[in-house]
Amino acid sequence: MKILAVDTAAKSCSVAIVDKESVLVEFTLGIEQTHSKHLMEMINAAIKLSGIIVSELDGFAVTRGPGSFTGLRIEISSIKGLAAATCKPLVGVSSLDALAMQCFFSQYLICPLLDARRGEVYFSRYRFNGNILKKEIDEQVLPPGEAICDINEACIFVGDGAFVYQKAIMDKLGALAHFALPSQSAIRASTIANISMDRFKNNDTDDIRSFAPFYIRKCYAELSSH
């Protein structure tokens, strides 16, 4: 099963083509630029380097959020267009699920934090039960102090929000706080593809027409209009 996956939910931009469990090609761009400048160029390059053609893809996977309002709109509109043009299915994956999955070997509680701006973070909590990732709380947005206030065990923090608020987390939790490597805190498109595989196999795909970003909160423009 060949899946093209993309992520532009946060600061990085990532594109991958995965065939079952093998990564055929993956690009991740870490510079802070508008993702619209690079995304389609990266998709075209990935397809060319993989040696396959678009019609050979079995589906598309994309982060559904939470994350950057602009980044989510760019990636989802691009992938919905490709899925519609090729009549191939689409699966949306939580950006927080992806970050947690990138801490696969952790025995600790896992808390992904994405910088939501305005002094808040998007977060959830997870734990591995054997090889199975279990989500313990729903995705939320809160100030970082409130997001971690009830943690009383060793916890690994991952995502750009973990580094933005690292000092505050350490001041609050002390030796209980652990931090993933920076390379684990950039969402990889190959992770998105791998998470989506079971849903493709089970025909549990999203409706292309109604699929939309999961923002959690309204964007600033919407809030300002009220």
Q: Where are the domains of the chain?
A: 2-95+187-224, 103-184
Question: How is domain 2-95+187-224 classified at the CATH fold level?
Answer: Nucleotidyltransferase; domain 5 (3.30.420)
* pLDDT recorded at residue 34: 60
CATH of domain 103-184: 3.30.420.40
Half-sphere exposure of 149 (CA within 13 A, CB side): 6
Q: Which residue in the block uniquely carries the two structure tokens 């931090």?
A: 179
User: Helices H, strands E: what count in the chain?
Assistant: 8, 10
Q: Which residue in the block uniquely carries the two structure tokens 């519609």?
A: 84
Q: In this structure, what DSSP letter does residue 210 have? A: T
The model's pTM = 0.93
Q: Same CATH fold, 103-184 and 2-95+187-224?
A: yes
Separation of alpha carbons 146 and 149, rounded Å: 5
Kindly tell me if the per-residue pLDDT of 81 is higher than 70.
yes
Q: Which residue has the higher pLDDT, 223 or 184?
A: 184
Tokens of 108: 């600790």
* pLDDT recorded at residue 218: 63
Name which of 68, 72, 51, 41 is nearest 2 in CA terms. 51
Q: What would the mean pLDDT of 38-54 be, rounded to a whole number?
A: 94
**Residues sharing a CB contact under 8 Å with residue 25, sequence separation 6 or more, in sequence order:** 16, 17, 46, 49, 50
Kindly tell me if the per-residue pLDDT of 57 is higher than 80.
yes
